[in-house]
């Protein structure tokens, strides 16, 4: 096993691991994996090529993380399967109405509105709502390729144990109730909780028959 060290990072067989991260010796890390500060990777975890385990993220024992998956602001339970390209813990699409253009604004409001871009005089500028919560994924959850689970702005986004998601599923932080505490089986292209102009928000549930 080839190792090299710096003050903050170490490189193990092509994986980059922060000095404060805790990686179980039985975990398997492919080349290109990045494990950031204070992250925890449990026993038997498999991290595919290019996977990123963000700062303070925990990955439970026996979980498989597919290639080019990114985990931020979240905890992942044991025995989960996250397929290629999954994104967990990124900011949700959260904006609130700002002040009319040209009106007196605070420095913080001006900075936020400049980040959105210039608009015509008289338009109301959207201001990004801070996204400060986490995503909590229970045990034995499977998330299909390319799916996204956003972090919350006012409460954690919780995915219950034994939930199964198809490919290209989006779980938004804007859901009326982002806590999916029961087994949940959304099919592909399901957009859970994202508002559509002029329509009420809905929680999409696709339940499978009970196994007897």
Note the pLDDT tens digit of each residue in 7-65.
789 998 999 999 999 999 999 999 999 999 999 999 999 999 999 999 999 999 999 99
The pLDDT of residue 132: 83
- Report residue 159 CA to chain centroid gap: 11
Positions of the chain with pLDDT lower than 50, given as ranges: 1, 100-104, 118-121, 174-179, 181-182, 188-191, 193-212
Strand blocks (E) in 1-150: 3-5, 9-12, 15-18, 22-23, 28-29, 34-35, 40-41, 46-47, 52-53, 58-59, 64-65, 70-71, 74-76, 81-82, 87-88, 95-100, 124-128, 135-137, 142-143, 148-149
For the chain, how many residues are written? Answer: 212
Enter the tokens of residue 97.
């109405």
What is the biggest distance separating any 2 CA atoms in the chain, rounded to whole angstroms?
Answer: 64
The pLDDT of residue 181: 46
Enter the tokens of residue 61.
């024992």
The pLDDT of residue 197: 36
The reported pTM is: 0.73
The pLDDT of residue 173: 64
Contact 192, 171 (CB under 8 A): yes
The pLDDT of residue 75: 97
The pLDDT of residue 119: 46
């Amino acid at each position: 096993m080839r190792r090299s060290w710096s003050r903050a990072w170490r490189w193990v067989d092509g994986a980059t691991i922060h000095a404060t991260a805790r990686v179980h010796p039985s975990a398997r890390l492919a080349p290109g994996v990045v494990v950031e500060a204070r992250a925890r990777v449990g026993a038997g975890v498999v991290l595919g090529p290019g996977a990123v385990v963000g700062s303070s993220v925990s990955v439970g024992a026996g979980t498989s993380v597919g290639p080019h998956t990114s985990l931020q602001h979240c905890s992942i339970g044991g025995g989960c399967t996250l397929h290629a390209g999954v994104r967990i813990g990124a900011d949700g699409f959260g904006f609130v109405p700002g002040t009319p253009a040209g009106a007196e604004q605070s420095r913080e409001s001006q900075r936020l509105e400049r980040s959105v871009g210039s608009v015509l005089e008289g338009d109301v500028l959207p201001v990004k709502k801070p996204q400060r919560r986490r995503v909590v994924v229970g045990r034995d959850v499977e998330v299909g390729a390319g799916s996204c689970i956003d972090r919350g702005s006012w409460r954690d986004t919780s995915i219950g144990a034994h939930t199964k998601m198809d490919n290209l599923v989006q779980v938004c932080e804007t859901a009326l109730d982002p806590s999916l505490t029961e087994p949940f089986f959304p099919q592909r292209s399901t957009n859970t909780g994202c508002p559509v102009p002029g329509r009420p928000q809905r929680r999409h549930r696709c339940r499978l028959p009970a196994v007897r």
